[in-house]
Amino acid sequence: MSSRKARRVSLVVVAGLLLGLVVAACGSNDNGGGGGGGKIAFLLPESKTARYESQDRPLFEKKVKALCDGCEIIYSNADQDAAKQQQQAEAALTKGAKVLVLDPVDAASAGAIVQRAKQQKVPVVSYDRLILNAPIDYYVQFDSRKVGKLQGDALVGALKKNGNAKGPIVMINGAPTDNNAKLFKTGAQGVLKSSGVTIAKQYDTPDWSPDKAQSEMQQAITAVGDNGFNGVLAANDGTAGGAIAAMKGAGIKPSTRPTTGQDAELAAIQRILVGDQYMTVYKPIKPLADKAAEISTKIAKGEDVPASLTPDKEDNGNKSVPTVTLDITSVTKDNVNDTVIKDGYWTAAQVCTAAYKSACQSAGIS
């Protein structure tokens, strides 16, 4: 073989090898796990509400990994500090995040984060709390007004059962910076007003802090007296826990003053079983985290988000935002087993520790 022919053969072999490598590289991104992708920033607001670290974060991370093994998650928790959350978002954008999944500390000031992301052409998925007056791309939510309505309906029913149909009650609302807290309040107040229930004292709880809720409830008891209220509309399980601690500290049996909640926290489920808390609103976090992961991984992989993923719309003051709205359930002692236990949100072993075994048995949980 001539040297010229040898060179031609060698070039053909090399070209074939290069082509094979290119095909293999392309194929490696097209596997069952979703292959290549970019960085996804998952920015949560605080850790005082137990669900964020125990449910939202691990569920979101697990779903992203299942959908896109080449995606990287940049995780941050702002510890209820809006300025800190803005710094975390800036850092994520600097690290090359292709999409921000943002649960805002402050629904209004989070608009600055959205504007900064837009400068870099990075889409923003508003997670659980609606970011107001900003050009967000998607929103994944529970129906917050319905949460408040379920709380109001449950409390009104309990008051009637106890012979105190008109209350009065103490209302412990959520953080004034959280748009959802305003919607919870609106939903609950609509029910209370239509039922003629009077509100003896009402507070907005900074940072959703259980400690601050306890202090607010102590103030209410001091102001109206031990017998000056017949129930508590607490916006979530953390504030409910604070209110219940204040009642116990004042020598009031919480079982005689029905108290609402939200988030189906483990401690709240246990309080419900022993009668200290009347109800909670179960918001199944898995579908919320899953939907956010589905949307964000498509963006991270450079794919279009189909309209079928976000069938609803929500007006945030800037635009009509493509939205996913997920259902919720009222939970009392009567249906703990058929809701949070049946769904695997909590296991019977987690709920029924030694102190709660008897209560579990009476509720049909084993």
Rounded to an integer, what distance in angstroms lies between the CA atom of residue 175 and that of residue 181?
6
Specify the residue for token string 């909670």.
280
Rounded to an integer, what distance in angstroms lies between the CA atom of residue 169 and that of residue 236?
16
Q: Which domains does the chain have, with CATH numbers?
A: 36-142+284-326 (3.40.50.2300), 144-283+329-362 (3.40.50.2300)
Q: Crossing angle, helix 144-161 and helix 179-195, to 10 degrees? A: 40
Tell me how far the alpha carbon of residue 111 is from its chain's centroid: 19
The strand ranges marked E within 168-237 are: 169-173, 199-204, 232-234
Q: Is the pLDDT of residue 27 over 70?
A: no
Q: What is the pLDDT of residues 75-128, one digit of tens each?
A: 999 999 999 999 999 999 999 999 999 999 998 889 999 999 999 999 999 999
Rounded to an integer, what distance in angstroms lies between the CA atom of residue 213 and that of residue 111?
28
Q: Is 142 in contact with 325 (CB distance < 8 Å)?
A: yes
Q: What is the pLDDT of residues 199-256, one digit of tens each?
A: 999 999 999 999 999 999 999 999 999 999 999 999 999 999 999 999 999 999 999 9
Edge-to-edge strand order for the sheet containing 70-77?
70-77, 36-44, 97-102, 124-127, 138-142, 320-326, 312-315
pLDDT of residue 332: 98
* pTM of the predicted protein model: 0.84
Rounded to an integer, what distance in angstroms lies between the CA atom of residue 48 and that of residue 81?
12
Name the band, by pLDDT with cuts 50, 70 and 90, for residue 181: very high
Q: What is the pLDDT of residues 33-84, one digit of tens each?
A: 555 789 999 999 998 888 999 999 999 999 999 999 999 999 999 999 999 9
Q: What mean pLDDT, rounded, does the chain reach?
A: 91
